[in-house]
A = this chain, B = another copy of it.
Amino acid sequence: MVDIATRVYNHKWKIDPIVRSLIDTDFYKLLMCQSVFRNRPDTVVRFSLINRTTKIRLAELIDEGELREQLDHVRGLSLARGESTWMRGNTFYGKRQMFRPDFMEFLENLRLPPYQLEKRDGQYELTFEGPWPEVMLWEIPALAILMELRSRAVLKELGRFELQVLYARAMTRLWEKIEALRELPDLRIADFGTRRRHSFLWQDWAVQAMIEGLGDRFTGTSNCLIAMRRDIEAIGTNAHELPMVYAALADSDAQLRQAPYEVLADWHEEHDGMLRMILPDTYGTAGFLEHAPDWLAGWTGIRIDSGDPAAGAETAIRWWQDRGEDPRRKLVIFSDGLDVEKIIELHHRFHGRVKVSFGWGTLLTNDFRGLVPGDGLAPFSLVCKAVSADGRPTVKLSDNPAKAMGPAAEVERYKRVFGVGAQAAQEVVV
């Protein structure tokens, strides 16, 4: 029976919006936003889209009008009543009222600030400038829109059955990954794949498949909207943008050296337990841990997001041991470019030595590699980063020189200040 009302309703959409909610974003963006809203509300930042996979010429694939429509649609969004209720009333990591009333009021009144869009050399130059707590919330929707518009551009060419079989193949592939992960009884894994997902619906399917396939071993999703709708945990802590902006604001080398710890001191004041996770690689993990204050060793764990993950975890284990901490009580979250083989390998290597957890991103929510001719749906390395703060450029080094960003002279200065020596380059897949 045709549901005429639904059909007519669907025809009323001028566009099929990719991002339909302000909380269709990563949980840690909201956590960090609250921290920034308290500690650095007036800092003016500039976020910029960077396509590291330059051979994918986004401006030729994606229609500018469609892109503007999608971005404009996000600017029209505001926090829905039920979303606010969920944020105010929910338990996150076992705590109620994670989000303070003043922050919730700010968020309820927020509309995302304007964007600047230009085409250059086959790519889009998409930038956002304004108060840090507002601009930072563009990152995830901007990435999700670009990723999904690219998917749609490729899918437009396919027939009805080709489409069905494409998704059948992608589902089969993902389910086989889940079946492989089922072999690990003590696994803990979460979805971190919002930013580079194939599409919203696909991420939602992937999360549901993880729920059915892994049960309790699936610990939640970074996506707040999906966490709310599927009634599962929202997962996340903090990201590189905090030390990057704090560092850019430093007035001297001495201040710069302290900036990453200042971030964590602010964080320490606000959060405890599962939210006290160290992200040590912004300016090199080894130096960061070596010069870290003692109180940081008391934190819950560490997130390994660049460089050789096993080496990073071993470094952390040695550091905890040196500081008199028992690594078996510490959490290590791996979150960089994971796929099943790597997850299984890392799990076997570290399970029992530390508490192991995985934040599985792009190859959970966008593994369409090899599924269309020309590999037009393969995920690629798109990021949206803070590139300046109060007019000063930001720098990221990470544990992989292929992921470094910032002006060359500043990169050299940061390397000197943070004592970063030779680094082994790792291929950036996604």
Are A168 and B172 in contact, CB atoms less than 8 angstroms apart? yes
Residues of B within 8 A of A162 (CB): 212
Chain A residues numbered 125-166 whose CB sits less than 8 Å from any CB in chain B: 159-162, 164-165
Please tell me which stretch of A3-11, A271-279, A384-392 contacts chain B, meaning at least 4 of its Cβ atoms lie within 8 angstroms of it: A3-11
Using known A-B contacts A3-B6, A6-B1, determine if residue A165 contacts B160 with beta carbons closer than 8 Å.
no
Residues of B within 8 A of A213 (CB): 161
Q: Which residue of B lies closest to A171 (CB)?
A: B168
Residues of B within 8 A of A164 (CB): 171
Residues of B within 8 A of A169 (CB): 168, 172
Q: Which residue of B lies closest to A213 (CB)?
A: B161
Asked whether A208 is an interface residue with its Cβ less than 8 Å from the other chain, the reply is: yes
Residues of B within 8 A of A6 (CB): 1, 3
Are B5 and A9 in contact, CB atoms less than 8 angstroms apart? no
Asked whether A380 is an interface residue with its Cβ less than 8 Å from the other chain, the reply is: no
Chain A residues numbered 339-366 whose CB sits less than 8 Å from any CB in chain B: none
Among the listed B5, B161, B172, which residue makes an inter-chain contact with A209, where contact means beta carbons less than 8 Å apart?
Answer: B161
Q: Contact mask A100-128 → B, CB, 8 Å, 1/0? A: 00000000000000000000000000000
Asked whether A175 is an interface residue with its Cβ less than 8 Å from the other chain, the reply is: yes
The distance in angstroms between the C-alpha atoms of A9 and B1, with both chains bound, is: 10
Asked whether A93 is an interface residue with its Cβ less than 8 Å from the other chain, the reply is: no
A365 CB to closest chain B CB (Å) equals: 16
Among the listed B159, B160, B165, B208, which residue makes an inter-chain contact with A172, where contact means beta carbons less than 8 Å apart?
Answer: B165
Among the listed B5, B168, B209, which residue makes an inter-chain contact with A175, where contact means beta carbons less than 8 Å apart?
Answer: B168
Q: Contact mask A282-317 → B, CB, 8 Å, 1/0? A: 000000000000000000000000000000000000
Asked whether A167 is an interface residue with its Cβ less than 8 Å from the other chain, the reply is: yes
The 5 closest A-B pairs by CB, nearest first: A168-B168, A165-B175, A168-B171, A161-B212, A3-B3
22 A-B pairs in the complex with CB atoms less than 8 angstroms apart: A1-B3, A1-B5, A1-B6, A3-B3, A159-B212, A160-B212, A161-B175, A161-B208, A161-B209, A161-B212, A161-B213, A162-B212, A164-B171, A165-B171, A165-B172, A165-B175, A167-B168, A168-B171, A168-B172, A168-B175, A169-B172, A172-B172
